[in-house]
Structure 1
């Protein structure tokens, strides 16, 4: 049995599908603060298999411990956490409490239950401003916001944990920019309020829910002046968790980038989305945001060489799959039944 924290969320629901399709039994814990239980109903519909759900907060160590013991969990994939970069600068203590303290209590519960296999979702934000590109796992670390610092502190905590007890099997995954949706169109990214991420905002403009996209800066030293990021299809990202689980057969600690190795600019994304959707995406240029970098993309060589994993889906597929989700479920998980009608 695999315990998946934050399993009702955007990435978590896709990881659920990967696990169920691979034959694993899954118990999801999620407090539903930024997710919807309907995603799990649709996961089960897609897979034709059931999972177990418990509405539990990772800050509740006793509830986590009881779940680990009751379901005879053998490994944990830890996705739960607050994740909005801008909000983290406004509410830093909330982010430290939820992300850092929650992870500490999860690890404590695992230790008590003698469950010592953990896959942790970190972030490329731990790198901060790139000093060279592409970013490999040896790049200096220096996050520029509280969200990124919570991820880095958890990474350091897990490294110290392994140094103190070499029986642990730990995988640290540094995600770049997950986008897209499951090809069924039944699950996808469902932001509450104004989207924080680029693709959901672009999709909402394309379908007419928002008037226009605001692009933060077009004077970067890039081919079209807009920022460049490494966008990875969420289904590719989800499959990577299986590769990590399979690699953690022996005690050890590994850290891997999960990206494509290619960068796409904001305007690349806009033009690609317009092409696959057949819709116009009006935009306006605003000044740069503080803390944004010009270019950021991964060197995924380690993941391919050691884990046997690589991203295979194109930017066109990422946009097409997100557009299918947007059209099929224009209000996300709200106002539709579990079949997305």
Structure 2
């Protein structure tokens, strides 16, 4: 193996840059050249590649986002787009590819694997919703961003006796919302996996007020039902003692310097990805199982859904009393 490519795709996650750095320097240590693919699968189709040396990835450990940039590519979903991507890889002499990204990115990697392209995937998703790994790049940083925001919101909520509804990312997974709810002491957490009705939410708010609480924090994953707007509207209409405010954290959760944990885990993921390629292990994703990095077939990763631990959901409910 003489040359490998590395790309980041889908939503960015804090820690992608440390992973890119690890891929580049680990490959160079094996006398393997590295081509950076700009703009994800779109760049793969366009042949937007550039050579990356050790100095090209210097000083990026602390940077959020991805220096290779990322994009979503509708064209790559088509057989024609995939054929063009493979043609560009062959023209550039790219022998294998490391794909850093979430579920959609790994599905794209699977399409290449099916056509004989050596690929190793790395899980990068702040939602921690990728099957086959205990943790993904970006989760820890995003969670710390949410916790910091809620801690600050609690200060003003107590000062004004308000109920704050804080929306986190998580269209399909409530991982961030549940974890944040537990460690910030939220009065309630709403997630896509566990539907509730507005009456249940109102009951919790009313009980918090009756117990003499000076505030009420409800953490809502963006994919929860009912959603943030509906909850706020209904609670205000019921006049439960607290005035209601909504805070949607949005893309602030994706940005910022990666935490020490994310820098370390991303570096381990990137180093192990290169190691797998050099060992001839392809068509796999690097997964964290306990403390160990293990290969997980991408076909398995993309065919199964990672479920949220019921233990965390129950803990969030009990500790909110």
Q: Aligning the two structures, in what range does the TM-score lie when normalised by the shorter sequence?
A: 0.3 to 0.5
**Which of structures 1 and 2 has the larger relative contact order (alpha carbons within 8 angstroms, sep 6+)?**
2
As a proportion of its length, which structure holds more helix? Answer: 2
Larger radius of gyration: 2
